[in-house]
Amino acid sequence: MIEPPLPPGRLAGQVRFLLESDLLKSVLRRTFISDGSRHENSAEHSWHAALFALVLSEHAHEPVDLGRVVAMLVLHDLVEIDAGDTYVYDDAELATKAAREQAAADRLFDLLPPDQAGRLRHLWEEFDARVTADSRFANAVDRLTAVLLNYVGRGGAWQTHGVSAPQVRARNTVVGEAAPPLGELVRMVVEDSVTRGWLPEGTACP
């Protein structure tokens, strides 16, 4: 990457961080976009999840600070620039996810001025920990985006990767815990997907 001329000080680090973040557009996820024509990338997913939060925050089980929720969603997958996308139904990938993403966070957030790096990394870590109302709701809409895209894509990546209905239910309990109406939506989508033959009730697709 060719670096533009930068003045010394805070702005240089901020611009480097922002240009590096552009690489998130090249990280492909397993999920397809709604028309099924291609995989979505992680930058598109982060935008869509933030939009979900803006539209659906009234359904949160607890009061949330929408600005913090959106900030978490904008940041939550940034580490995939180095760590890659970890598929939520791949247990082997999940086993190494934390270490890969912590190393990525060390490199990426350190591009920023220290005070800003600390604030943004804290938001990223809060999202991952799911111990606050804001982070629980952010995780809920993050999961909901993939559920709905897989449904409108007639099973989409669920079928490609042999995902079953019990797996989808288990991985998406966080949705209902943070936003019961959205959890009910997930339940309805999963049940209809089973009826349509897009998700098997067994442990895995044949």
Report the CATH number at residue 125: 1.10.3210.10
In a domain, 2, yes or no: no
Q: Nearest to residue 44, comparing CAs of 91, 85, 105, 89?
A: 85
User: Number of folded domains in the chain?
Assistant: 1
In a domain, 206, yes or no: no
Task: Tell me the C-alpha to C-alpha distance, in Å, between residue 16 and each of 1, 109, 117, 192, 194.
Answer: 10, 11, 13, 46, 47
The one-digit pLDDT tens for each residue of the chain (206 residues) are 888 999 889 999 999 999 999 999 999 999 999 999 999 999 999 999 999 999 999 999 999 999 999 999 999 999 999 999 999 999 999 999 999 999 999 999 999 999 999 999 999 999 999 999 999 999 999 999 999 999 999 999 999 999 999 999 999 999 999 999 999 999 999 999 999 999 999 754 43
In a domain, 4, yes or no: no
- Structural domain that includes position 146: 10-196
Distance CA 159, CA 150 (A): 9
In a domain, 1, yes or no: no
In a domain, 138, yes or no: yes
129 burial level (CB within 10 Å; 0-12, 13-18, 19+): exposed
